[in-house]
């Protein structure tokens, strides 16, 4: 079976449109490593968000640590703003089981108590294992469960969706 993957650039533009009405001077964007950060950087620039971009590497919050151990390349999380009382838009590339988002929310709360968290994703591929839903979605796509869909970035900064081994 061949799956035709949508153009992420178009989906990104779609997300910008959806998000724009919700961005206030107080809104903060937080991207989840790695694909989520690529997307968040684009959204952050396109939306002209004033609060600096936050990034999360949720390796320390994964619920499959017992099975898979620690990720070999962990990037530091950076939340360069006060979390307490803030409206936060969490950004990830692909929403699947919901476990990553759970980990990200857990980590965010270790920085403080936000006023709200909403979720923006490029692709919602279904298959949820936790009660997690995205408020902003670029596209919905059915992907076989043995495929891993991720967002990548070319040297020139253009985004592309691809399947990982």
Partner 1 sequence: MRNPQLNEKGELQHLLTIEGLPRETITHILDTATSFVGVTAREVKKVPLLRGKSVFNLFFENSTRTRTTFEIAAKRLSADVINLNIAVSSHAKGETLLDTVDNLSAMHADMFVVRHAESGAPHLIASHVASHLHVVNAGDGRHAHPTQGLLDLYTIRHFKKDFTRLSVAIVGDVLHSRVARSLIHALTIMGTPDLRVIGPMTLIPAGAEKLGVKVYYDLAQGLRDVDVVVMLRLQSERMRGALLPSAQEFFKYYGLTPEKLALAKPDAIVMHPGPLNRGVEIDSAVADGSHAVILSQVTFGIAVRMAVMSILAGN
Q: Report the interface residues with partner 1, using CB under 8 A.
A: 57, 59-61, 65, 68-70, 72-78, 106-107, 109-112
Task: Tell me the closest approach of the beta carbon of residue 27 to partner 1, in angstroms.
Answer: 21
Task: Tell me the closest approach of the beta carbon of residue 114 to partner 1, in angstroms.
Answer: 12
* Residue closer to partner 1 (CB basis): 107 or 124: 107
How wide is the angle at C-alpha 22 spanned by C-alphas 5 and 91, nearest 5°?
A: 40
| Cα separation, 5 vs 162, whole angstroms | 8
* Residue closer to partner 1 (CB basis): 112 or 144: 112
Task: Tell me the closest approach of the beta carbon of residue 98 to partner 1, in angstroms.
Answer: 17
Q: Is 5 exposed, middle or buried (0-12, 13-18, 19+ CB in 10 A)?
A: middle
* Residue closer to partner 1 (CB basis): 109 or 163: 109
* Residue closer to partner 1 (CB basis): 71 or 153: 71
Question: What does the block give as tokens for 162?
Answer: 């691809």
Beta strands in the chain (DSSP E): 28-32, 54-56, 87-95, 116-124, 136-140, 148-153, 159-164
């Amino acid at each position: 079976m061949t799956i035709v993957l949508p153009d992420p650039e178009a989906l990104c533009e779609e997300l910008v449109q959806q998000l724009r009405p919700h961005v206030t001077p107080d809104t903060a964007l937080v991207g989840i490593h790695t694909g989520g950060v690529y997307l968040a950087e684009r959204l952050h620039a396109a939306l002209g968000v004033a609060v600096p971009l936050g990034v999360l590497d949720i390796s320390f919050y994964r619920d499959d640590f017992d099975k898979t151990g620690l990720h070999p390349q962990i990037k530091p999380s950076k939340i360069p703003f006060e979390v307490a009382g803030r409206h936060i838009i969490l950004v990830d590339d692909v929403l699947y089981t919901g476990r990553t988002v759970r980990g990200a929310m857990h980590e965010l709360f270790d920085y403080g108590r936000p006023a709200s968290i909403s979720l923006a994703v490029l692709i919602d591929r279904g298959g949820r294992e936790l009660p997690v839903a995205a408020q902003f979605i670029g596209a919905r796509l059915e992907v076989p469960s043995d495929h891993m869909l991720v967002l990548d970035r070319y040297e020139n900064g253009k985004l592309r969706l691809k399947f990982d081994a």
